[in-house]
Structure 1
Amino acid sequence: MAWSVPDRGSYRAAILWTLGSDHSATTRAVANAFLISAFDRSSGRRAWEFDLAAEGPFSPVHEKHNLASPSPVTDGERLYAWFATGQIAAVDLSGKLVWKKHLGAEYGPFEINWGHGSSPVIYKDYLILLCYHERSSYLLALDSKTGAVRWKADASTGETSYSTPLVVEVGGKTEIVVNSSAGVSGHDLSTGARLWHIAETNRFPVPTPLVRDGVIYTSRGYRSSPFMAIRPGGKGDVAASHVPWKVTSGAPYISSLVNYDGLIYMMGDVGVLSVVDAKTGERLHQERVGGVYTASPVAGDGKVYFVSEDGDTIVVAAGRTPRLLARNRLNARQLASPAIAGGRLFIRADDALYAIGK
């Protein structure tokens, strides 16, 4: 272990590690405030901290969830942090406020079973926010420099999502891909209008889609989660025309897939590791490694990393038949997805931020 930093507050958001060349950032909730913190990656020293006063209404959240679950993002000039009240703040890379908004106050309370979970997405000068809640469902694009609204695209009343959208470039156009309770859909970046959809109801869509070599891969989440490959660029109902393959069950309830060198890796909620061929959807390998998993996996340097709620980090050699390399234990609950940067693995636990490596 390179270092660990004890900290206060509620942890669920993943770590942002691209704050310049040497800082990592996290968000968390404490009594009456949301905190954005930046740490020196080499030493763990706290570089700065920004406090945002928490303003309600405050929706109930799941035990594994909190009001600071959305992960922060950066465009290299500003950091954007979004919270489950609907409050969003943009700060510069020294921690000074640039602008802030309260979507819950402007457009209605963020009311969704278990609490809001979607993270912001930055694309060029668009800040994209998925607000699919029980009383009000909409996709919103802000100007990242000023916070001004570029467009707001309303969805069907009651359409919900805990997932983070994905931006995909295809054929000279750009689409926003959404995993929601109604299915998977693609939206025009310039207006938010829906371009295509795959209708498939799901009560709790949590996983985030990914794109690799021009193909979208996503699981739907919830029990016996289906997962599929989708070609972007379609129009209308594309279930029959733009889905090269689909597997009807077997993906995790919460965590997302990772595609590494043409193979999809996933860890089931109760510790079943699966490897799938990304071209065909064929399951190549499956084995039980044990544990309970909420965080999404990460991959790099020929390895795939999974962190369990019990504090284990499972390291496997990537391949069609993955080989277990290590099982390392931290005595702390781990719900947030880890991050890889500068030859180190950064893990966020309930009580601290850890840097693993030399």
Structure 2
Amino acid sequence: MKLKHDRIPVYVLACVLSIAGTVSADDWTGFLGPGAASVAADAVLPKVIDDESNVSWKIPLPAKGASSPIIVGDNVIVTCSGGQGDKQNELMVVCVDKNSGAKKWEQKFWATGRCFCHPLSANAAPTPATDGERIFAFYSSNDIACLDLDGNLLWYRGLAADRPKAGNDVGMSSSPVVVDDVVVCQVENAGDSFATGLDAKTGETVWSQDRGKTAVWATPLVIKTRDGKNLVLVQSADKIDVLDPKTGEVKFQQEGDVSTISSACIVGDTVITPMDGTTAFQVSSDGSIEPKWSQGQIKAGSPSYQVTENSIFTCNSRGILRVWDRESGDKKKEARIDGSYWATPIIADGHMYCFGDDGTFRLVNLHMGDDQKPEVVQQHKFLAPAKDGADTKGEVFLGSPAISGNAMFVRSNNFLWKFAAE
């Protein structure tokens, strides 16, 4: 493992909400929360989740999607996209009232780039992002729409216009992050591979750089310097770069074997990355980022990490949940919770909320004594609407839940739910 950097003084804020001054504490601003941090939420959520219990509202969606909802103010935003055939180029943004579930507005656009993706996924795979004033809806076709909170289109870019080979056979899913009035998009693939920073107000290209020609589905991560400067961590298959979001300049680079699916995360003074299994970087006493430990056994799988003050959680495709010590990387617990997951679970109030791609929800109790393992304490299967007399199948959950206050917002291919304690 090779290390190259210019010893930038950095530290990670426990609260990343300062990235945008107009974002409130109850906003869920993008993939896995503010700054894509993937940190356990400070919320008390219902301990029973099913079709009736603790359902504040449920609304049908116009089309499928693998993206997660985001929340800004009283708005819940979710993206959708058309299916195969003549509707596959349809791109949608839906806004509903957080409190009532009433639809506020819906916008539809048409893709300019490649729409092909795996049948399980969708063009609406990347999760949108917000800076508190604008919504940035990004799609697998590498189209990005910027709207205000009333649904008015402010600008639109087809990022593949100059890079027509950008894309892969199963679809793209890296989500954008917004920092310092720049929207950072990662489009790494075997064709025209690049990352770019767009002016949040105008959509004009601020910077663009070529990237490695291997498909990456991970989402960039925002970190912050001690002097208040924001940086963005971007994963490639063979390295991790920390970029200046205003210029794209590489400030820090670590080479290694990096997961192309699970995303890095932040907790306290530790940056946790899926490199060489998992490598943690600690913010040292002088403010520089230094490797802390590397543990080849920690592999995040398709879902990304979830982290708490003391622990790292991973869940693989066979439903094996493992708990690791955040300070050392040592294994603490292991339990079989069963199920198949693409969506990253969320943690709140000592419980993990897991939505499977077969429609099965599992609530896992993480309140563990020395001799106790994580335990599934509630389970329910959500069924999709029957079509044309076919057997009813489970709902498909691919997007991770969002949290606002003490409520959880979840999307499937067919519906958007709000769950809150009655």
TM-score by length of 2: 0.76
Greater strand proportion: 1
Moved more, 104-113 or 279-288: 104-113
1:308 pairs with one of 356, 360, 372: 356
- Give, in angstroms, the shift of residue 98 of structure 1: 0.6
Contact 1:153 1:193 in 2 (8 A): no
Cα distance in structure 1, aligned partners of 2:313 and 2:168: 29
- Give, in angstroms, the shift of residue 232 of structure 1: 6.3
1:154 pairs with one of 210, 230, 252: 210
Cα distance in structure 1, aligned partners of 2:310 and 2:225: 20
| 1:62 has 2:118 as partner | yes
- Give, in angstroms, the shift of residue 125 of structure 1: 0.7
- Give, in angstroms, the shift of residue 8 of structure 1: 2.8
| 1:256 has 2:312 as partner | no
Cα distance in structure 2, aligned partners of 1:99 and 1:226: 40
Contact 1:159 1:182 in 2 (8 A): no
Aligned equivalent of 1:230 = 281
Aligned to 1:105, the other structure's residue is in SS state: coil
Cα distance in structure 1, aligned partners of 2:413 and 2:303: 18
Larger RCO (CA under 8 A, 6+ residues apart): 2
Aligned equivalent of 2:253 = 197
Aligned equivalent of 1:49 = 106
Note closer, same or farther for the CA distance 1:132–1:281 as it changes in structure 2 (3 Å cut): same
Note closer, same or farther for the CA distance 1:124–1:196 as it changes in structure 2 (3 Å cut): closer
Aligned to 1:242, the other structure's residue is in SS state: strand
**Equivalent AA in structure 1 for residue 406 of structure 2:** G
After the TM superposition, list the runs of 4 or more consecutive aligned residues in structure 1 that deviate by more than 4 angstroms: none
Point out where structure 1 has 5 or more consecutive residues left out of the alignment.
Answer: none
Number of residue pairs matched by the alignment: 343
| 1:325 has 2:377 as partner | yes
Contact 1:126 1:141 in 2 (8 A): yes
Aligned equivalent of 1:125 = 181
**Equivalent AA in structure 1 for residue 324 of structure 2:** V
Aligned equivalent of 1:89 = 145
| 1:108 has 2:159 as partner | no
Moved more, 169-178 or 282-291: 169-178
Identity of aligned residues (%): 25
- Give, in angstroms, the shift of residue 190 of structure 1: 3.1
Aligned equivalent of 1:283 = 331
Cα distance in structure 1, aligned partners of 2:195 and 2:269: 23
- Give, in angstroms, the shift of residue 44 of structure 1: 1.7
Contact 1:84 1:110 in 2 (8 A): no
| 1:37 has 2:91 as partner | no
Aligned equivalent of 1:73 = 129
**Equivalent AA in structure 1 for residue 158 of structure 2:** H
- Give, in angstroms, the shift of residue 323 of structure 1: 4.2
Note closer, same or farther for the CA distance 1:154–1:243 as it changes in structure 2 (3 Å cut): same
Note closer, same or farther for the CA distance 1:106–1:291 as it changes in structure 2 (3 Å cut): same
Contact 1:252 1:269 in 2 (8 A): no
- Give, in angstroms, the shift of residue 208 of structure 1: 1.5
Moved more, 26-35 or 297-306: 297-306
Cα distance in structure 2, aligned partners of 1:263 and 1:28: 34
Cα distance in structure 1, aligned partners of 2:414 and 2:230: 40
- Give, in angstroms, the shift of residue 35 of structure 1: 0.3
- Give, in angstroms, the shift of residue 328 of structure 1: 3.0
RMSD (CA atoms): 2.1
Aligned equivalent of 1:7 = 61
Cα distance in structure 2, aligned partners of 1:160 and 1:309: 22
1:337 pairs with one of 400, 414, 417: 400
Cα distance in structure 1, aligned partners of 2:267 and 2:113: 39
Cα distance in structure 2, aligned partners of 1:284 and 1:201: 24
Aligned to 2:380, the other structure's residue is in SS state: strand
TM-score by length of 1: 0.89
Matches within 5 A, 1:128-207: 128-156=184-212, 158-172=213-227, 173-201=229-257, 205-207=260-262
Q: Deviations over 1:112-163 (max 9, x none)?
A: 242111111011311111121212222211110111111112224x143111
Contact 1:89 1:100 in 2 (8 A): yes
Cα distance in structure 1, aligned partners of 2:210 and 2:172: 17
Note closer, same or farther for the CA distance 1:64–1:249 as it changes in structure 2 (3 Å cut): farther
- Give, in angstroms, the shift of residue 166 of structure 1: 0.6
Cα distance in structure 2, aligned partners of 1:318 and 1:86: 38
- Give, in angstroms, the shift of residue 258 of structure 1: 1.1
Contact 2:337 2:375 in 1 (8 A): no
Cα distance in structure 2, aligned partners of 1:69 and 1:180: 19
Aligned to 2:161, the other structure's residue is in SS state: helix
Cα distance in structure 1, aligned partners of 2:283 and 2:405: 33
Aligned to 1:353, the other structure's residue is in SS state: strand
Q: Deviations over 1:52-101 (max 9, x none)?
A: 1222343x312332211010111111100011222111000010101111
- Give, in angstroms, the shift of residue 14 of structure 1: 0.7
Contact 1:89 1:99 in 2 (8 A): yes
Q: Deviations over 1:34-62 (max 9, x none)?
A: 0000111222211100111222343x312
